[in-house]
Structure 1
Amino acid sequence: MAPASELPKRDSDQLIPIRTQKKGPDDWKGLTDSKERRRRQNRINQRAYRQRKRAEKLGLPINAEEAESSTASSSSSQSSSQSPPTTALTTRSNCPTPDQTAALLDLFSKTAYQSYILGSPTSDHLLTLAKVNVFRAFASIMSTLGMPKHHEWMHDDAISPFTLLRPGFTTPSTIPLTLRPTQLQQSIPHHPWLDFFPHPRMRDNLIRAGDFDDEQLCMDIMGFWDMSTESCGLLVWGDPQDLGNWEVSEEFIRKWPPLGEAWPTMSETDKERVAKQTDEYVTQLRELQSSKLESLGGQQLYSAFLFPNGYGIGHGPFSSDDELWAEMSLSLSLSLSNVPEEIRSQLRQRMPSAAPYTFTHGDFTNVNIMVHNGNLSGILDWESSGYFPVWWELTAAGISLGKDDKEWKELLRRYLPDHTEARNFWLDFFALRKYPNVDERGIRFLKSCGLSLPNQA
């Protein structure tokens, strides 16, 4: 972000001022009722919007000027309108060009930064900046898909270019995996804005749903054109092509609930459908593989059930199964009495090969599965994802939290790739972490190896 001294200077002599004078009924100074204050602010913004539109129809440059929020009368509003403009955009048509839109967004970001370094940050800047980030993320995705300069994609009756197969657009093979059009996107006509979600399964489910309120979904996601909304449903913290950089707000989750809340009211057909759709999504993820056991970007892996030390501790990267086992076996030393080497050796021999190291979400707990109208609409909590043993997805799906989650994962495992041998290995491994206070499973493992507990020797 550029410092304030480098902010672009504007020639105010060539701009047409738009004064947003607050008359008596719109004066919100001193109001304690937040809803009434927001209603009056909304009325002021709408008046300014209409003024800008009238100027745009004349093809004239615009100076969008906001009166200071502390102004309480028409006279003080008129006085404030004499101050230097804070935002400017040259418009030559009814709609700004993509370059002009990008310039406006960049100018707002710089203005927000300027207020910060001057020691006068405002909550309005913070709230709007969060919404701008989502807007810019979708604009970036549009650019990646090859669509930013085609205004027809914004019309209500527009159809996705992936369905139309129009010439000149980026071919699917050159698009990042998270944005690459699915078979459904290429076969069923739909509006282009559904292509902007960096989540293949969510795109497919929105296309399947067909009859959902797309305007409401847009409002819930962006919160940008609703003055009564102080937050947006999605937040983005980095490269929008990376699912790990997206965050879902509490408001959005309440309206588009996770599987954990919807499960008791879902029909068996809907439950089966969500399980199948989750498996289809897992299949897409498993196309991503690595030569190392690592998180994205070569970072450490996190799993309280595969490694020692519990939650929040990173491990790796690892370049081989032996390195993986060396780290896993540290868990067998956490008990008061270490597991004898003979038992460790027997357990190591039963560990299936971890290769190919496959991209894995790692936590399909029902609260991380979002559903809408009986379909999978999203998957949350990617902080534990990474390149894990090829069998870890199925194995982790055997760890449940509560009755509903157990039912969900039992159903899900029917559709996931079969790695029963690996799951049995991990269950034995997990049982021996409590050695010598092992449960029945641990005792069965010892007997199968011709071994016994110390007090039974």
Structure 2
Amino acid sequence: MSADEATQAKQRRKLQNRVNQRARRSRLKGDDDKPRRPFEVTRWRLDDERAVSGVRSGRHTNPATRHDDAPKQKGWSLETCRVPPLSAQDAALVEREPLLRLALPYLARKTSPLQDHLLHLIHFNVLRAVFRLKFILATSTAFCIGRNTPGTEPQLVTIDDAHPSRATLVLTAQDEANGLPLSVRPTPLQSSKDHATWIDIIPFPVMRDTLIRYEAEYDQVEFGNDLVGDLVDFANVYQLQRPKQPRLPANKSSRSIGETGTVTAGARTGMIVWGEPHRPENWEVTLGFMQKWPWALVGCQPLLHSSNRWRALRGEEPLPQIYEP
């Protein structure tokens, strides 16, 4: 190798070393700019009024407030990743729905970390579906109070302005009703007979009529609790009187259904929503609910078909057949 070639090779190695060193410094600088943790863990107490008010206002809980530094109080702690603030739609929903505001303090009073006492996410989804259905109904319907009371002038009130415990549900404008989903459009029975207004949010017309027709013969409070758990105090909010001996009791087991299932102690008696609540195909009824309230599901073929479809996706057996008594 000549002297010139040796000099050129040495120069190339020197330049390559500089490039490598510059690249290494850039990588190290990039690592220094990154946070030490890929995410931040925030702890807060469910019995801390600041946490509850933070949920109401859609603000983050202060990350600097650590669970270890908080005063010792009764309650249980929840460890979560950073949660984004409520969307404008959800924040408005919290403010306009008294039942949801009522549920937030209830969360703060939870005192046991046992699994049996944890609030089920399914109930939250159903409750939010209820509010969504009320919003849809408010666009084209209104409550008519006193329609079936002799000597009383019927009064129309909007769903946003009033929450009567009993009323009929009527369309406010036929042209607007054209955009109202068929699943929540008032039936003739809903529009003519006073009934408990919680029934109006059930997105299955046949079930609504059944619940209205047999309104005095079953425990509405227990039925509502199976839908949304303890999030709503049905007895007080809707001024319901629980019958001492309902003619249609909540069955532990029922001869009105097939013999392909039994109720177990842990069976869930409720409904599940998987998407937009006004679409019947997004709902599922549990086996426990079917066995407890079989009469309420008679004729609700869309709900039963939808339930079996969701069960099939999980590899579960279809629901047993319901027979009219």
- Structure-1-length-normalised TM-score: 0.32
| Structure (1/2) with the larger helix percentage | 1
Name the TM-score, length of structure 2 as normaliser: 0.43
